[in-house]
Chain A
Amino acid sequence: MLGAAVFLGSQIAVNNLGMQLDEYRGEINSAWVGSLMSLMGTFFIGWFGFYLVKGSIAHDRKTGVGQIMAATPLTRFQYLFGKWGSHFAVLTILNLILVITGIGILLLAGENTQFNLFTMLAPFFFITLPTMALIAAVAVLFESIRFLSGGFGNVVYFFLFVIASDSLDKSRLAFGFDPTGMGIFRRSLWAAAEAAYPQFNGGFVIDIQSRLEPVQYIFPWSGVDWTLALVLQRFGLIGIALLLMVVAGKFFDRFEIPDYKRSRAWRKRKAIPTPVRKPDPAVSNITPVQLTPLQPAAKRFIFINLLDAELKNLLSGPRWWWFAVALVLVLAGGVFPPAFTRATLLPLAWVWPISVWSNMGNREIKHNVQQLAFSSAFPLWRQLPAQWLAGFMITFGMGFGAFLGMSMGGDMQGLAAFLSAAIFIPSLALASGVWSASNKLFEVLYIFIWYFGPINHLLGLDFIGTQGSGRPAFFALLSGLLIALAIFGRKRQISS
């Protein structure tokens, strides 16, 4: 993430990423650069930094450190407050990298080298920091609420942020609430642009440079007018963050329940009565049972057995209602008109199994089974292909209705996009899982690609080809690279 923050800063510095009001922009001065960096940080670090900091309570739970801390006088709120503080510090440091980059941009641009420290840093203090405080608290809250602590919470946050930052390109604030502070900049910038160019009629966008309109007009802007009311309103977010911590404290179990007892498996265990056996004095429990020697013919590797086992393992998590929804999506894909299926149903069918795919490639390490799995024969060339193929079958299966519709309609372009997507999804899952040893990377990456690609048709990420032919050759090639990455990563794991 530190690397990503540096990369983000460098992209802004070399003008690959910019902020404009359609063909208007402000003069590059302390106010403009400070606000630009604040906006970029709030938007990108706010969105993805959440995933970086979320998980530390789960880590304490998994390692057992939580139980040790629970036996100390540390209170529920003190613990959560400590987590909030550390999350906030991490997010602040990442944003500080952008601020430092901003100083460099100001000096290099040369449009206005007059350096005004307050104007430059005010957006960081009044916009970025309160937002980061809120995001740090949301991360703690999500981790404290059981159903939001896993993959589902990751997806929820993604859309929560989309809604919260709605003010970026809309004329209204999202629900009248502007936690990211983007509406504050927009209003101030619009006022300055209108004052300089009365014909200005709105527009506000942050995007990659090649997608921005050429700048026609540059207007002077001395920054947001930081009134006391505005500053208090922003610092109110810190109050909301603290309130969220209190709420989190209500949900947080203070490690009362050990990790294994939180699982559905444990709760299920309680429902099964333990059989009561009367001891038979004639038969000692210690009487050894003789093992029949295994015949050499029994040691015969059959790939289909492993594939079957991988499929069962991948599908062992979801509950009955998950399968019911999956079935409805598959069947609906075959019933509705192909165009609707491709544009709407297929994207839905291909986001539903996100928590299944996200187990690929990392399950061994996450559950500490790697020593058992990797000490078996040919772990690279048996287990990894079986895992990929199981992921592919699930992907293909979820899109089967759509596949039938396209096949019967002779939609060759659609089929090419379908197949490349069916290859791309498990490849991305496997590579992300192997390299991150966690579900999180795939869940974040995939939902990002899915949201901007098939849903919003942006950035060339529409791997399904919901509108038009898609980019099957590109995604097939990318899949090949991802598979190669997964093989390389797994090879490293096996031989390390």
Chain B
Amino acid sequence: MNLQIQNLGKKYGPDLWGLREFSIQVEEGILGLLGPNGAGKSTFMRMLATVTPPTEGKITWGNIDIAENPDALRSVLGYLPQDFGVYPNLNAIEFLEYMAAIKGLEAKAARKRIDELLQVVNLVDSARRPLGGYSSGMKQRVGIAQALLNDPKLLIVDEPTVGLDPEERVRFRNLLSDLSGERIVILSTHIVSDVEAVATHVVLLNKGRILYTALPEEMLQQLEGKVWEWVVPSSELAALKQKHIVSGTIRRSDGVQVRVVSEDKPEIHAQSRTPNLEDAYLYLIGGKP
């Protein structure tokens, strides 16, 4: 099964495009979407999830145009929106049973699946508490569980690790890796390390357009020999940030250790370092944090 997106666009006002000229072909694996706020990531996800109709362009699932037949995609879709709620009076089991009924799962199979999912998202102990009493991280985990209820062929997760503690974040990343074998997973996040850990392909978005699309290792290759670290006095940090892309700082007793992305060696004491995806992201976006 593959997903083809051709010239997709979403217009919000006379001159305001949330997304434009977005074309990509997606195969099995995890596609990581990266981009600053307002880049168009959630707009893209909502159109893909059939929640928002596109203004122009076409999304094809297999041979099916989802604008003409959205239900063909909805029946194999798992979607975790960036911002969602739950029914506060239901407990996790009741809510997941309700979502399973909506998704057209047979009751017995749904119950078994819900039991497994509650273990996966580590909510077994809290499963019978009303959702209104859940913390935001727990609600997020319920959201993850509902997205996986129907064993989706296309899994769309928008900022899935928001509100999760570090342990749950790692657990979720492992889960995504396990799931990605025979399905398409589209992961949108601000947390570059999440994409770095699991994505098989990366799309970089900025101002509603695709800036860059590649394998993560291709992105990193571009940065070879362009990442540097050295120590500067605290007083020079502000000036340095004006001049270079600073991707990290660590305060030390003798000053501040800076990590800089630069085409040339920026300073005599600077040491070359192995690039990571965050360096690549900042370099390609061209931002100075």
Q: List chain A positions with a Cβ less than 8 A from chain B.
A: 260, 263-270, 272, 274-275, 277, 285-286, 288-295, 297-302, 305-306, 308-310, 312-313, 316-317, 363, 367-369, 371-379, 382-383, 495-496
Q: State which of B108-116, B207-215, B250-258 sits at the interface with chain A.
A: B108-116
CB nearest to A268 among chain B residues: B130
Known: A288-B178, A291-B148. Is A298-B105 also a contact (CB below 8 A)?
A: yes
Dominant SS among interface residues on chain A: loop
Contact of B84 among A290, A292, A368, A379 (CB under 8 A): A368
CB nearest to A307 among chain B residues: B101
B238 proximity list for chain A (CB < 8 A): none
Contact of A265 among B50, B75, B131 (CB under 8 A): B131
Query: Residue B51 at the A interface, CB < 8 A?
Result: yes
B110-132 interface with A by 8 A CB criterion: 110, 112-113, 116-117, 119-120, 122, 125, 129-132
CB of A373 within 8 A of CB of B167, answer no
CB of A269 within 8 A of CB of B129, answer yes
Contact of B174 among A288, A302, A371, A379 (CB under 8 A): A288
With most chain B CB atoms within 10 A of its CB, the pick from A291, A374, A376 is: A376
Instruction: Give the CA-CA distance A308 to B150 in the complex, in Å.
Output: 19
Query: Residue B107 at the A interface, CB < 8 A?
Result: yes
Query: Residue B71 at the A interface, CB < 8 A?
Result: yes
CB of A372 within 8 A of CB of B50, answer no
CB of B79 within 8 A of CB of A372, answer yes
CB of A367 within 8 A of CB of B102, answer no
B106 proximity list for chain A (CB < 8 A): 297-300, 302, 305
B97 proximity list for chain A (CB < 8 A): 309, 312
Instruction: Give the CA-CA distance A158 to B132 in the complex, in Å.
Output: 29
Query: Residue B89 at the A interface, CB < 8 A?
Result: yes
Known: A260-B88, A292-B116, A299-B104. Is A375-B49 also a contact (CB below 8 A)?
A: yes
Known: A265-B132, A368-B85. Is A294-B102 also a contact (CB below 8 A)?
A: no
With most chain A CB atoms within 10 A of its CB, the pick from B53, B74, B102, B120 is: B102
CB of A268 within 8 A of CB of B85, answer no
Tell me the count of chain B residues lying within 8 A, CB to CB, of chain A.
60
Known: A294-B150, A299-B105. Is A367-B130 also a contact (CB below 8 A)?
A: no
A288 proximity list for chain B (CB < 8 A): 120, 171, 174-175, 178
Given contacts A292-B116, A300-B104, A375-B79, 14 further A-B contacts (CB under 8 A): A268-B133, A270-B133, A289-B119, A291-B117, A294-B113, A294-B150, A298-B113, A309-B101, A313-B87, A316-B89, A368-B85, A376-B99, A376-B103, A383-B102
B89 proximity list for chain A (CB < 8 A): 264-265, 316-317
Query: Residue B197 at the A interface, CB < 8 A?
Result: no
Known: A269-B129, A294-B151. Is A377-B71 also a contact (CB below 8 A)?
A: yes
Name the distance in Å between B217's Cβ and chain A's nearest Cβ: 24
A373 proximity list for chain B (CB < 8 A): 102
Query: Residue B244 at the A interface, CB < 8 A?
Result: no
Known: A265-B133, A309-B97. Is A495-B53 also a contact (CB below 8 A)?
A: yes
The tally of CB-CB contacts under 8 A between chains A and B is 163
CB of B101 within 8 A of CB of A306, answer yes
With most chain B CB atoms within 10 A of its CB, the pick from A260, A274, A294, A297 is: A294
Instruction: Give the CA-CA distance A390 to B174 in the complex, in Å.
Output: 40
B150 proximity list for chain A (CB < 8 A): 294, 299
Query: Residue B58 at the A interface, CB < 8 A?
Result: no
What 1/0 mask marks residues of chain B from 66 to 110 whose CB sits below 8 Å from any chain A CB?
A: 000001001101010101111111100010011111111111011
- For this complex, 11 residue pairs linking A to B, each with C-beta atoms less than 8 Å apart, are A263-B130, A272-B129, A286-B174, A289-B116, A298-B105, A298-B109, A302-B104, A313-B90, A317-B89, A368-B84, A372-B146
Instruction: Give the CA-CA distance A46 to B77 in the complex, in Å.
Output: 49
Contact of A378 among B71, B77, B148 (CB under 8 A): B71
Instruction: Give the CA-CA distance A298 to B109 in the complex, in Å.
Output: 6
Query: Residue B179 at the A interface, CB < 8 A?
Result: yes
Name the distance in Å between A219's Cβ and chain B's nearest Cβ: 59
With most chain B CB atoms within 10 A of its CB, the pick from A272, A377, A382 is: A377
CB of B46 within 8 A of CB of A316, answer no
A269 proximity list for chain B (CB < 8 A): 129-130, 132-133
Query: Residue B1 at the A interface, CB < 8 A?
Result: no
Name the distance in Å between B80's Cβ and chain A's nearest Cβ: 8
Name the distance in Å between B263's Cβ and chain A's nearest Cβ: 39
CB of A301 within 8 A of CB of B104, answer yes
Instruction: Give the CA-CA distance A68 to B260 in the complex, in Å.
Output: 37
